Amino acid sequence: MQLLHPFSKKVVHLPPFTKLPYAFGTQTDENGVLSYQFGRIMNEHISDWSPNNARDLLLFKAITSSNPDPDSSHSPIVIIINMENSRRSLSYRRPGKDVYWSRVPGFHLNYDDFTFYKGDFYVLDCNGEVGIVKGLDGDGSSPFISPLSLREYDDTLEAGEESLYNLVATSTDLLKVIRDYNDWVDEDSESYGTTKGFRVFKLDFSCTKAPKWVVTKNIGDCALFLGTNNSFSVVPSDFPGCRCNCIYFTSHDVETLDYSGHDKGIFSLDDCMIEGVCPIDCKTICPRPLWYSTNP
């Protein structure tokens, strides 16, 4: 695996798939076709993955602690969310320290999103709980995830059965975004679920006892971009045509790798209206639409 900066063309080399937890190497069949082997040796279940499937389905998201400049004496810490036995685990690689990808033990083993905010890695699990990754600075302790103690429980933060969570950092705030879906319907023998709206919560660190999630309808001069590959914020005034206080989103259907115009749009926090960006019945879009941040 490699990190490529698309503008400078600089490359940071990372440990390969075979260095992931629960990876057991590769094999080649009689036709010379390569496959990766993953699984749990304790239950003797090992499955073969093609290179394309391993890339598209096993590697969920990646994030760095800084600009990935291989010429710098301070190369970034890289954390990835990777599929492991049908659950999304967290693995890390520290420059100059780790030859293998190592799994971060934590309070849960199924993560939806993560972000780097003011010097710390924050992770969001499938239940909407947030933790901080500790021990990555090489002080002798093993990395672990410390649950973020919140001042009080708020049931408005709960997502529905078909809802999804995202964690996004802006220059000033850490945001939790809940995407709510309409009921799933059957259309032409295929399942379609459409985004109904978003709820945004800001983590208030000013509380004396512990941080607290606060509902917000205004993210200021910011726009959020949410997708299966990456979640990030931009300042719209730096990008002509981009709208402030809006959420740009793509389909989150990672199971079928949706290549159509289905469920892609712009949600306005001002009036809670959604504007589509392409028709549902548009022709196949390949490769599938992904947001890409120019700021690594």
- Tally the domains of the chain: 1
Q: Is residue 277 part of a domain?
A: no
Residue located via tokens 């975004």: 177
- Sort strands 246-249 and 223-226 into parallel, antiparallel or unpaired: parallel
Q: Is residue 234 part of a domain?
A: no
pTM listed for this prediction? 0.79
Note the pLDDT of residue 73.
Answer: 46
- Residue 237 domain-assigned? no
Q: How far apart are CA 145 and CA 130, in angstroms?
A: 9
Q: Which domain holds residue 28?
A: 1-148
Structure tokens at 173: 């705030």
Q: Residue 243: what pLDDT?
A: 92
In a domain, 161, yes or no: no
Q: Which of 92, 76, 102 is nearest to 23 (CA)?
A: 102
Q: What is the pLDDT of residue 174?
A: 93
Is 233 within the bounds of a domain? no
Q: Which residues have a Cβ under 8 Å from the Cβ of 147 and sit 6 or more positions away? A: 107, 129, 130, 131
* Each residue's pLDDT tens digit, 85-135: 667 888 888 877 788 888 888 656 688 888 888 888 898 887 788 888 888
Domain contains 251: no
The per-residue pLDDT for 293 is 53
